[in-house]
Amino acid sequence: MFYFLIILITILYIAVLELSKNILISWIIAVVACAAMIGYRAYCKKKYDARRGSVFGNIHGYGPENKRRDMRIRAVGALFLFVLVMAANYFFTKPPVRRVPVVDNKKPDVTTVVTIDQGQLTGVYNKDHTVKAYGGIPYAKPPVGELRFREPQAPDKWEGVRACDHFGPMAMQPRSSVIYDSLARIIGYHDYRLKFGDEYVEEMSEDCLYLNIFSPEKETDDLLPVVLYIHGGSLTTGKPSYTEYRGEDLAKKGVVYVNCAYRLGVFGYYAAEDLKKESPNGTTGNYGLLDQIAALNWVYNNIKAFGGDPKRITIAGESAGASSVNAICASPLSKGLFQYAIAESSSVLPKEPFHTFRYYEDAIATGDAVRSEFRVETSEELRSIPAKELVTTITDNSAMTVDGYAITQQPYLTYEQGKNNEKALLNGFNAKESDAFLLDDEATRDNYVELLAEDIGDYAEELAQVVPYNLPQRDQHIIIDKLGEAKGALNVAYSAMWFTYPHYVWNNYLVKQGIPAYEYYFTKTNNVLTNYHAGELPYAYGNLWRHPGLYDDSDYELSEIMQSYWVNFIYNGDPNGSYRQTDEPGDGIYNTEVADKPLPVWEMRSKGQDKLLQLDTTLQMIDDPNLEIYKVIDKYMDEKVNGR
């Protein structure tokens, strides 16, 4: 029994080491400690048996009772030492902090030198040399010290050749334990894999203003269209290295893909009157947004060196990244810097957005709360607070605001005046947008209206008539969801409020302006993110292959279609056309179109056409399932604005 217990404890302990990403030597130490315990136990038993069989042992009565007592004492002592060794092993073999390689292949080949105004740099090739990747290129000065809570500044120059082969650090943000993240991959994403080489924690730093470029290898000097992707995460979390929107595969299909980190949370969206006074532009509260615009400026000025066409830039983003894309479309600072926009699962165009946007006075009030929390009077004093302490703030800094510089008025007013910047829009949403955000809510017949009222106030009763509590439950749910008989209805209502209504508003504005808009509805189920919030990302950006065994042929076929739509749109502002593939080298022509393989037609939104393209095993134009919900939300929005 003792041997079994020690072996079981060791197996469980090694599982914890794996989930915590401790370095590999920790496994060896654990096995050695287990073997030592078993060996010591066997030694003690053998020694006792030898003594008991001797004349000395018989004279002194070294019998069964003595044996049990002695063995218990030795076992307790040995077990204490075993636990002590295991605890020390866990503590001293924690995963190191590293930056993430920009490509997956080990020891990648280095590209030729690229020269930009800041200096010279090299990137690395992916495994089959179809893509050149450049990671961790600074697009602004590190926003640290006196540059905290200030507009991004022009980046420093460097001497020599800079090796850009890793992503830059992720921005400062609240961070879960490594073991929690591993469990989330198991329970939520179902894509956890046991592999060697991932025994590290990604670097996080206030010095985070870096971007990454994925450019196709080509035989010609043709300049290709560019997409700048802005990650989501409620403006409080997220990172460019996330595998679901890596740019390698989209680049293979003929675009230059760029993504970037930007300041998050209190570092990116803290607002204060003293900051507004010290700013040469009279701005505060939108530092993360200004970072994104600085990245866009950098791309516009430098992307030609990487094979990109500065006159053909598309901005793209998902969730808070889509809200940011919408804000950039409304910002006078980005006029002329891009052509098209791709927005997945969010915008800030409702008259009073449900998230990622707030009134200026609310931003200032939150800023006051930040200073109060850290017991300082001024923002200058707040600059002296270490980043690792400031990031722990209990205040909510997850929204942009009207600062008079980056955003000059409520975004919907900019659209009503026709001053928005995008020339075409590809946008849409998923079937189960809100479900993962409502896991802790048990929705019952009794509390259903109350839960709706938290976001739609006095219109909760009317919304409950449109979305009755007894709607069927979702076809899938996460195991930790508290459910309740009204949970299906609650998920439908909040998906519409938080994520789909913003697209309804955006498309309607563009239809009035005569600007091309194409809207999708992603409903494809699978064994990973399925059609939850962000579930479309690995399809659209070609990263299903990073999750072997979890997607089937129908998923890969849909991904090829979606990537082709996205690339066509980046080229022409229209997703329609042919499938896209990697260019065939050797003919002296760069072309990724498959001429004899047209895509299913995606109809443009217009006054007589408000259907969405359903992205699933079968593609078809369908009605928006939430139109009746939007009518209630329209009333709520009008009342909120008129009441101010």
Residues 514-554 have pLDDT tens digits of: 999 999 999 999 988 899 999 999 999 999 999 999 999 99
165 has a pLDDT exceeding 60? yes
Q: Which of 419, 411, 236, 432 is nearest to 321 (CA)?
A: 236
User: Looking at residue 58, what is its pLDDT?
Assistant: 46
> What is the Cα–Cα distance from 625 to 496, expressed in whole angstroms?
9
> What is the Cα–Cα distance from 319 to 490, expressed in whole angstroms?
20
User: Looking at residue 60, what is its pLDDT?
Assistant: 46
Q: Which amino acid is at 281?
A: N
Neighbours of 29 (CB within 10 A): 19
Q: Which two tokens stand for residue 575?
A: 């997703």
452 has a pLDDT exceeding 80? yes
407 has a pLDDT exceeding 90? yes
To which H or E segment does residue 27 belong? helix 25-52
Q: Are strands 114-116 and 119-122 parallel, antiparallel or unpaired?
A: antiparallel
To which H or E segment does residue 77 belong? helix 64-92
For the stretch 280-301, pLDDT in tens is 999 999 999 999 999 999 999 9
Range in 53-57, 229-233, 570-574 with the lowest mean pLDDT: 53-57
Task: Give percent of the chain with pLDDT exceeding 90.
Answer: 83
Range in 32-36, 77-81, 111-115, 483-487 with the lowest mean pLDDT: 77-81
Range in 54-68, 213-227, 408-422, 424-438 with the lowest mean pLDDT: 54-68
> What is the Cα–Cα distance from 544 to 566, expressed in whole angstroms?
16
Q: Which two tokens stand for residue 55?
A: 């004349």
Q: What average pLDDT does the chain have?
A: 93
> What is the Cα–Cα distance from 46 to 49, expressed in whole angstroms?
5
Categorize the per-residue pLDDT at 56 as very low, low, confident or very high, splitting at 50, 70 and 90.
very low
Q: Which amino acid is at 608?
A: G
CA 147 centroid distance within chain: 26
Average pLDDT over residues 88-113: 95
User: Looking at residue 48, what is its pLDDT?
Assistant: 65
User: Looking at residue 51, what is its pLDDT?
Assistant: 57
> 503 and 606 in contact (C-beta within 8 Å)?
no
Q: Which of 204, 173, 148, 238 is nearest to 392 (CA)?
A: 173
The SS3 assignment for 49 reads: helix
Categorize the per-residue pLDDT at 59 as very low, low, confident or very high, splitting at 50, 70 and 90.
very low
> What is the Cα–Cα distance from 348 to 420, expressed in whole angstroms?
13
> What is the Cα–Cα distance from 105 to 128, expressed in whole angstroms?
9
387 has a pLDDT exceeding 70? yes
What dihedral angle (degrees, nearest 10) is formed by the CA atoms of 230, 235, 236, 239?
A: 0
> 209 and 139 in contact (C-beta within 8 Å)?
yes
Alpha carbon distances (Å) from 228 to 102, 385, 508, 516, 595 = 16, 33, 25, 20, 27
pTM of the model: 0.94
Average pLDDT over residues 403-420: 98
> What is the Cα–Cα distance from 417 to 114, expressed in whole angstroms?
42
189 has a pLDDT exceeding 80? no
> What is the Cα–Cα distance from 37 to 7, expressed in whole angstroms?
10
116 has a pLDDT exceeding 80? yes
> What is the Cα–Cα distance from 501 to 635, expressed in whole angstroms?
13
254 has a pLDDT exceeding 60? yes
User: Looking at residue 37, what is its pLDDT?
Assistant: 83
User: Looking at residue 70, what is its pLDDT?
Assistant: 66
Average pLDDT over residues 470-490: 94
Count Cβ atoms within 10 A of the Cβ of residue 201 and give its class: 0-12 exposed, 13-18 middle, 19 or more buried.
Answer: middle
User: Looking at residue 55, what is its pLDDT?
Assistant: 46
To which H or E segment does residue 453 belong? helix 448-456
- Work out whether the CA dihedral 420, 329, 495, 174 comes out positive or negative: negative
67 has a pLDDT exceeding 60? no
User: Looking at residue 454, what is its pLDDT?
Assistant: 97
Range in 135-139, 196-200, 224-228, 360-364 with the lowest mean pLDDT: 196-200
Range in 40-49, 236-245, 402-411, 512-521 with the lowest mean pLDDT: 40-49
Range in 233-237, 374-378, 379-383, 640-644 with the lowest mean pLDDT: 640-644
Average pLDDT over residues 363-379: 98
Q: Which amino acid is at 29?
A: I
223 has a pLDDT exceeding 50? yes
